[in-house]
Every structure is written in C-alpha cells, then in structure tokens.
Amino acid sequence: MSFEALLDEVAKSSHGLVPETSKEQLAAVISPATKDRLIRLNHETAVKAILGAIEEINAGPVETVNALINKRISQAQITQ
C-alpha cells in the first residue's frame, strides 16, 4: 500500500478527524523514514498509529507528529 493510500484509509477511519487538507499536512510533516515504517505495518496498526498521534496532538502535547507516530509504531511492534 502506498503512503497516499494509507492516508486515504486514515481519513475514512477518522470519522471526520482527518479532513482532506489534513492529509496534505500530514504528508508534509511525516518524515520519509516514518512513512516507510508505516507502510510496512499491517493496515490496522498503521491507521491506529496515525489516528492515535492526531488524538494526542488534539489534547495538546509538545511532541511533533513524526515523533508521536514513531512512538506508537515502536509500541505496536513490541506488542506484535
């Protein structure tokens, strides 16, 4: 699955949390290495990592989107 297709799935799964403009912003702030990590994950885990990071940002953390997603990917890999 491409990163763009993954973002489409995130938007569909977000119930309005990720509008079209947010997909463009996410694509711009997520590093190429993180994008590679995300597309290697199973679909459900990748979507959860991105949505979880967005929910955390909405709560007001100081970490970047990229750092939050990488943290969630690492946590998911430990539990798999």
Mean pLDDT over each residue of the chain, to the nearest integer: 87
Q: How high is the pLDDT of residue 21?
A: 80
68/7 Cα distance (integer angstroms): 16
Helix axes 3-13, 20-29, angle to 10 degrees: 140
Residues 8-45 have pLDDT tens digits of 888 888 887 787 788 888 889 999 999 999 999 998 99
pTM (two decimals): 0.74
Domain that holds residue 51: 3-79
Average pLDDT value for residue range 36-61: 88
How would residue 80 be classed by pLDDT, with cut points 50, 70 and 90? low
Query: What are the two backbone dihedrals, phi and then psi, of residue 52, each rounded to the nearest 5 degrees?
Result: -65, -40
Domain count, the chain: 1
Q: By CB neighbour count within 10 A (0-12 exposed, 13-18 middle, 19+ buried), where does 67 fall? A: middle
Length of the chain in residues, anyone? 80
